Amino acid sequence: MDTFSLLELNAHIRQVVALNFEQLIWVSCEISQARQSRGHHYLELVEKAEHSDDIRAQSSAVIWARTFSRIRKKCGDLIDDILQDGVEVRVQVRVDFHERYGLKLVIEDIDPSFTMGNLETRRREILETLQKKGLVEKNGLLPLPVVPQRIAVLSSEHAAGYHDFMQHLRENPYEYHFDTHLFPVALQGSSVEKEVVTALQSVAKAAVHYDCVAIIRGGGSRLDLSGFDNLAIGEAIAHCPIPVFTGIGHEIDQSVADIVANYALKTPTAVADAIIEMTATFEG
C-alpha cells in the first residue's frame, strides 16, 4: 500500500478542488465571526440546523481589501452592517485550498438583497407568531400613566440617542423632574436579544417602582436596527406589566418591538416629548 506524505496528499486535494470548482459559486450562510485587519475582512461562515444553534457546517472566508473596495462602491455603507456577527448572507466565492493553510473561501461579491429579504421574511414570521399567541396588542392595552415620572430606560449610556433623551427630559420648559433608571443594554449585534430581554424581566420584577419603560436607541439603517425584530424581545415587551415606549429610530418601517409596544415613536426626543406632554396635560 502506497504511503503519501502530507504535502503530497494536500497537493492532490488542491488539484481536485481546482478541477471541480473552476467557476465562482454562490453560497448562502451565516456570519458567526467577523474581523478586519489592514483592510482585509476575515469571516467565519456557518450553517446551523433548522430551529437550532447547532452548527452543521463551517468554513473560513476572506474578502481581500481590493475586493472589499469594489463591493463597497456597489453596496455603500450597507456593507458595514452586513459584515456583522449573526447576519445571514449570500456570497459569491472562489474555493481555494492551500497545502499549508487548508480550505478557504475567497469572497468576490455579496448579494445585499438576500440579507434584506431574509430579514423581512423573519419579521413577518415573528409577527404572525406573536399574533397567534395574542401578544401583539397586550402591552398596548395597558393604560398609559397619567403622570409618567418614574421611567425605566433601556439603552446604552454611550448612545447619542440616550443622551438626547435625557437632555430633553432635563431641559423641559415646565421644569418637571423625572426619575430615570438606566438598564444598560446592547443596541446592535448578537447580544441585543439577551440583554434587552433580561432588562425587561428585571423591570417587570420591580414594576411597582416605575410608571413606564422607554427603550431608546435612535438612528441607524434598517439592518443596523434589526436586533429589535426579535421574537423573544417582542414577547418580553408584551408581558411587561407597565407600558413600554420605544424610540428605536426606524424612519420607514416599524420593528417588531415598535409594533408590540404600547407607544412607538420615531426618535428618542419624541419619546421624551410625549412623556413631558402627558405630564403637562395632567396639570391642565
Domain ranges in the chain are 6-112, 127-283
d(CA 83, CA 103): 21
| pTM for the model | 0.80
* Two domains, one topology: 6-112 and 127-283: no
Half-sphere exposure in the Cβ direction for 61 (13 Å, CA): 31
Superfamily of domain 6-112: Nucleic acid-binding proteins (2.40.50.140)
pLDDT digits (tens), the chain, 284 positions: 789 999 999 999 999 998 999 999 999 999 999 999 999 999 999 999 987 889 999 999 999 999 999 999 998 888 998 998 889 999 999 999 999 999 999 999 999 999 999 888 989 999 999 999 999 999 999 998 889 999 999 999 999 999 999 999 999 999 999 999 999 999 988 789 999 999 999 999 999 999 999 999 976 677 777 889 999 999 999 999 999 999 987 566 689 999 999 999 999 999 999 999 999 988 76
Contacts of 206 (CB under 8 A, 6+ apart): none
Interatomic CA distance for residues 181 and 211, integer angstroms: 11
SS3 38: coil
CATH of 127-283, one of 3.40.50.280, 3.40.50.150, 2.40.50.140, 3.40.50.1100: 3.40.50.280
Residues 35 and 71: their CA atoms lie apart, in Å, by 17
